[in-house]
């Protein structure tokens, strides 16, 4: 891959009775990257995240963390924000955040200082003395985010981090995730929202039916799925037939065409331009969502 790897999952298998949750799963997570862990419900993503967090253990295979076999002493270098959140509703926000920070090995004064920094940065300092039960779901999400990142772990694992956020707060958290990456933190990011993957992920892995079916940088995967499909806007709502291209769809004066690989792109466009005025054209790039759906259907 050409990148220095922080986390390497090698041929990991996990069964629950007769149910195969993971079947020889392999992923390589580069340092200082945002790595999208994708897959349909039940594909095995949550099981893999629980294994990385040492909540459960693999039946076979191994995991390397910074070129060492993953072991208990790595736990403090990992932050995990699960999809199912859990805060003590009767505790005050500040007290609970402080308690959770100290569980991660932080000293009292250090924890207070960093919590105040994050609470002020996210403009939630006025929540410090509120009880958790007084918070909305989105407000509680912000607290969970803070206590996940507070100890500056080398690896952060976010499972659906934008769940419960309105667009404004989702944008704030997205900005903080990108900033953490830019400052050297490695992030595994699991979500069903493909637009979020397009926006922030550098690398992705697609798990389906307990197996890794796709992995690599976003740019490389998009390149692997590229086609000779173009979107062309004309000054008319009709397009003359030609063997040089196939018309996939049309909406008013916008046409999506596919140029066969054995055809010349320039000749096809020149043919169209000789018959009609081309107002604009662009190569149609497969989205991560389209790649996701195609890969799952073909698997």
289 occurs within a structural domain: no
- Identify how many contiguous H helices and E strands the chain contains and give both numbers: 9, 14
Non-local (6+) Cβ contacts of 280 within 8 A are: 232, 233
Q: 3-state DSSP call for residue 202?
A: coil
Nearest-angstrom CA–CA distance, 256 and 130 = 55
79 occurs within a structural domain: yes
Domain total in the chain: 2
146 occurs within a structural domain: yes
Instruction: Please say which residue of 175, 203, 223 terminates a domain.
Output: 223
DSSP track, 250-264: EETTEEEEE--TTS-
Nearest-angstrom CA–CA distance, 29 and 8 = 6
The answer to whether 47 touches 55, Cβ cutoff 8 Å, is: no
- Residues 109 and 142 grouped into a single domain: yes
- Residues 113 and 36 grouped into a single domain: yes
pLDDT digits (tens, 9 = 90+) for 227-274: 788 889 999 888 888 888 888 888 889 988 888 876 678 888 888 888
The answer to whether 3 touches 32, Cβ cutoff 8 Å, is: no
- Residues 120 and 246 grouped into a single domain: no
| pTM of this structure | 0.84
The token duo for 4 is: 């220095």
Nearest-angstrom CA–CA distance, 245 and 260 = 6
pLDDT digits (tens, 9 = 90+) for 161-211: 888 788 999 999 999 999 999 999 999 999 877 888 888 999 999 999 999
Q: What is the CATH number of the domain that holds 154?
A: 3.40.50.300
Paired strand residues for 126:
none
pLDDT of residue 85: 67
291 occurs within a structural domain: no
Smallest CA-to-CA distance from 245 within 276, 218, 212 is with 276
- Residues 171 and 240 grouped into a single domain: no
Q: Which range marks the domain in which residue 175 is found?
A: 5-223
Instruction: Please say which residue of 172, 191, 223 terminates a domain.
Output: 223
């Amino acid at each position: 891959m050409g990148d220095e790897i922080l986390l390497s999952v090698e041929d990991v298998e996990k069964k629950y009775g007769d149910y195969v949750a993971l079947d020889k799963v392999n992923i390589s997570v580069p340092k200082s990257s945002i790595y999208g862990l994708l897959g349909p419900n039940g594909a095995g993503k949550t099981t893999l995240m629980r294994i990385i967090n040492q909540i459960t253990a693999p039946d076979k295979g191994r995991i390397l963390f910074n070129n060492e076999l993953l072991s208990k002493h790595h736990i403090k270098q990992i932050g995990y924000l699960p999809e199912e959140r859990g805060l003590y509703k009767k505790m005050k926000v500040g007290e609970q955040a402080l308690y959770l920070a100290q569980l991660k090995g932080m000293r009292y004064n250090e924890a207070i200082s960093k919590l105040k920094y994050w609470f002020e940065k996210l403009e939630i300092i006025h929540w410090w003395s509120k009880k958790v039960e007084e918070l909305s779901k989105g407000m509680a999400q912000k607290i969970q985010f803070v206590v996940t990142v507070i100890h500056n772990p080398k690896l952060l694992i976010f499972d659906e981090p934008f769940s419960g956020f309105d667009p404004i707060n989702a944008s704030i958290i997205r900005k903080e995730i990108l900033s953490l990456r830019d400052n050297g933190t490695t992030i595994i990011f699991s979500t069903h929202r493909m637009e979020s993957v397009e926006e922030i992920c550098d690398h992705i892995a697609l798990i389906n039916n307990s197996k890794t079916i796709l992995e690599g940088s976003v740019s490389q995967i998009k390149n692997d799925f590229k086609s000779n499909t173009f979107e062309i806007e004309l000054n008319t709502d009709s397009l003359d037939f030609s063997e040089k291209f196939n018309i996939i769809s049309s909406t008013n004066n916008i046409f999506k065409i596919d140029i066969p690989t054995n055809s010349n792109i320039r000749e096809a466009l020149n043919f169209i331009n000789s018959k009609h005025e081309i107002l604009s054209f662009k190569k149609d790039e497969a989205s991560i969502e389209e790649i996701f759906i195609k890969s799952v259907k073909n698997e």
